[in-house]
Amino acid sequence: MQKKPISTSTFSFEYLITSGALYVDKTQYFHRLVTNVSNCYFCSRPRRFGKSLAISIFENIFLGRRELFKGLYIASTDYDWQVFPVIHIDMARSGSTSAQDLFDSLMRNVKENAEKYDIELSSDTPWLCFDELISQLCRTTGKKVVILIDEYDRPLTENIGDAKTLEEVRKILDSFYQIIKGQEPNERFVFMTGVTKFSKVSIFSKLNNLNDITMSRDYACMFGYTQEELEENFAPYIDEHVRENNLDRTEFIAKIKKWYDGFKFYWKSETVYNPVSVGKFFENECEFQNFWFATATPTFITKLARKQRLTQRDIDEEILSDVSMNIFDVVGFAAGNFSKTSLIQLLFQTGYLTINEKLDFEDYAFSVRLPNYEVQESFNKILFSALSGLEVDTSDSYVQKIKQALYRGNAERLIEVIKNFLAAIPYTIQIPQEKYYQSILFSIVKMCGMDISAEDATNKWRIDAVLNTPKYIYLFELKIDQDAEIALEQIVQKECFQKFIEGAKEKRKEIRCFGINFSSKERNITDWRVG
């Protein structure tokens, strides 16, 4: 019987196995970790990347449930399957609207773990109860304890916009996590997950035996699917869809890759697919949809991008060091001590950006990029809101009108809609710079689902934007407080269109060159030419 491809974001490992769902075997990584000399690990990954499933796998390994792993890599090894007491703390279940809310929910969480082993706790704080639980488990079972903490940073990220609450929450978490260091002799294994590695949190400053494998070459593909894993494990569903819809198999796989692949967690490693997006894609009968924006976009990201007036060029020009990729000052950020670089760090750690390439510097430094089409589409929604000050839903009517004008080659209608759109943006949001208007054009066209590239280089010039539609190739040169005729002449004089002539002839497309001038005073298009 063919296994069911389902999203792994909300199911335990036991459920996946017993329900006959498809599980892509990653247990070689789990075997390596549970048999290493080191026993205390941390790994951050973006939301919806299988962190909770990993915690569930570790839990079942240390509960000795070998029967669940039949046919998987770890079952073929000499692992001894000893049973250990397991403490599983899921911070996603911990309330964090206030310090008291977190305090109470942590107490509940620890006591639930104690009840599983018929242990009564007498302490009156969650951290002392945690300490008491570890000691009693060791004493009553005669074995060391396994500690699994999922989404350690959830209470912090949910309060990143409230400096006072965040500091109160951080102090509680510090007291709680410090117990792990103090109880080190009684611990068989510790594994912690999160979205972001925050500085000034005790697990990183005081837990000196913590092994951070976030950007480790050995574990770069532990979360997510490689190309080989996708094609091997999902082949029946790919073949069925290709056959039923008379598609070219190679082109279909290439489209899946374009939409959902592209994440890189070590600069030399291969890219991986978002596992939840892939699962939902096959669950939804191979319909190409954006699953990322609805499931992996913290609301504060959009607010911060708007506050920082983030543009596409900011992303394209950013360079991050390995240190800035690995850690983030949440306390300073919440207090207002942040910049666009800080925001880009956060975008990297939350999965909106990934490693592009290592740069040839003495120190480790990397350029970054958007991983794939799905994330790019999600990011464009954020960028739209950041640049316009409007809610994402407001863009729908503009998007459809612009899309229609571009498909029909209606230059007058295109400019009219863009001008109406710019007129709706509050003057306090607009930035009188060419890159701002370039980013506006870029983001709204991307939201149309069209192929647009910024700063497209020819042999003589760098065109501000190049847009491909089924019937037209549009070349845009943008100016501010100058003249549209000058902008159009630059495209013509530099013969920028030459690069696209052969492709246009082959696909029977018409090339349209636009020169557009924006006025910093009028905050809108004041002049345009098309040729």
Q: For 259-283, what is each residue's pLDDT tens digit?
A: 999 999 999 999 999 999 999 999 9
Q: What is the Cα–Cα distance from 417 to 411, expressed in whole angstroms?
A: 10
Candidates 250, 375, 243, 379; CA nearest to 305 is: 379
pLDDT at position 237 is 95
Report how far residue 43's alpha carbon sits from residue 134's, in angstroms, rounded to the nearest whole number: 22
Which residue do the tokens 């098309």 mark?
Answer: 530
- In this predicted structure, the answer to whether residue 382 has a pLDDT above a threshold of 70 is yes
User: For strand 211-212 and strand 145-150, is the pairing parallel, antiparallel, or unpaired?
Assistant: unpaired
Q: What is the pLDDT of residue 465?
A: 81
Q: Using 50, 70 and 90 to split pLDDT, how confident is the model at 205?
A: low
Confidence at 249, pLDDT banded by 50, 70, 90: very high
C-alpha separations of 143 from 62, 147, 187, 275 in Å:
12, 13, 9, 35
Cα(79)–Cα(325) distance, rounded to whole angstroms?
Answer: 35
Indicate if the pLDDT at residue 258 is higher than 70.
Answer: yes
pLDDT digits (tens, 9 = 90+) for 464-501: 788 888 899 888 888 899 988 888 888 777 666 677 88
Say if CB 315 and CB 352 are below 8 A apart. no
Helices and strands per DSSP (H, E), number in the chain: 24, 13
- Read off the pLDDT of each residue in 256-260 and give the average, rounded to a whole number: 97
Q: Mind listing the pLDDT tens digit for each residue in 504-524?
A: 888 899 988 889 999 988 889
pLDDT at 131 over 70: yes
The encoded tokens of residue 308 equal 């920082």
**H/E segment holding residue 527:** strand 524-530
CB atoms within 10 A of CB 122: 7
Decide if pLDDT at 229 tops 60: yes
Query: Which has the higher per-residue pLDDT, 294 or 438?
Result: 438
* Over residues 425-440, mean pLDDT: 77
CB 493 within 8 A of CB 519: no
Q: What is the pLDDT of residues 76-90, one digit of tens each?
A: 999 999 999 999 999
Question: How much helix, strand and coil, in percent to the nearest 5, is found in the chain?
Answer: 50, 15, 35
Count the residues in the chain: 531
Q: Binning pLDDT at 50, 70 and 90, where does residue 126 land?
A: very high
* Residue 47 vs residue 412, higher pLDDT: 412
Given its phi and psi angles, is residue 20 left (phi above 0), alpha (psi -120 to 50 degrees) or beta?
left
Cα(263)–Cα(354) distance, rounded to whole angstroms? 6
Record the tokens describing residue 232, joined without a space. 């091997």
pLDDT score for 439: 77
Q: CB of 290 within 8 A of CB of 42?
A: no
Q: Six-digit token pair at 206?
A: 């005081």
Report yes or no: 453 and 465 within 8 Å, Cβ to Cβ. Answer: yes
Q: How confident is the model over 177-192, as pLDDT tens digits?
A: 999 999 999 999 999 9
What mean pLDDT, rounded, does the chain reach?
A: 87
